[in-house]
Amino acid sequence: MGLEITVSPLVESDIASILEIEKDSQPEPWTQQAFVEEIDRADSRMLVVRVVTGPAAGSPSQEIAGYICFWLVAGEIQILNIAVRKALRRQGIARKLLELAIRTAREENAGYITLEVRKSNLAARKLYETFGFSVIGERPNYYGEHREPAIVMELEITGGEAMVAD
């Protein structure tokens, strides 16, 4: 990834930027309240990637490029939401966010990482497969008014290890 990035926990002042990305990425975007509730959940982890966008008054400015929200519950990580700003896609940001979720799984001795992805989201499914996620099921009529199925994917973390794509 050629971008200069930083990663940090999401804070409430990040939500306006996150909502822009969310509305541009998701057919049924989360609300501001949903993000606020995730910040307050003990088992929720929300991380944001910021990229340096250029100098501003002598110091570089940063823009939120993407985010991930996952839960760490009962020895498992469940990825709930991941999105990257459209203009910054295909530059390794989603890959970095997934690597951080996998690292958390190892550090917390989680056995699995699971997620649901729209059946039509082939780009995301392909990315997950490069990390070793496999399809374990399908949830019919899962997503909203269009009743799109969700593909359920899982990555087993064995012996504290998981495949990390190059």
pLDDT single digits (tens) 83-111: 999 988 988 899 999 999 999 999 999 99
Tell me the average pLDDT of the chain.
87
Cβ proximity of 80 and 71 under 8 Å: yes
Q: Which CATH class is domain 5-156?
A: alpha beta
Lowest-pLDDT range of 19-23, 24-28, 126-130, 135-139: 24-28
Cβ proximity of 5 and 63 under 8 Å: no
Q: What is the pLDDT of residues 137-153, one digit of tens each?
A: 999 888 877 788 999 99
Domain ranges of the chain: 5-156
So what's the pLDDT on residue 132?
A: 94
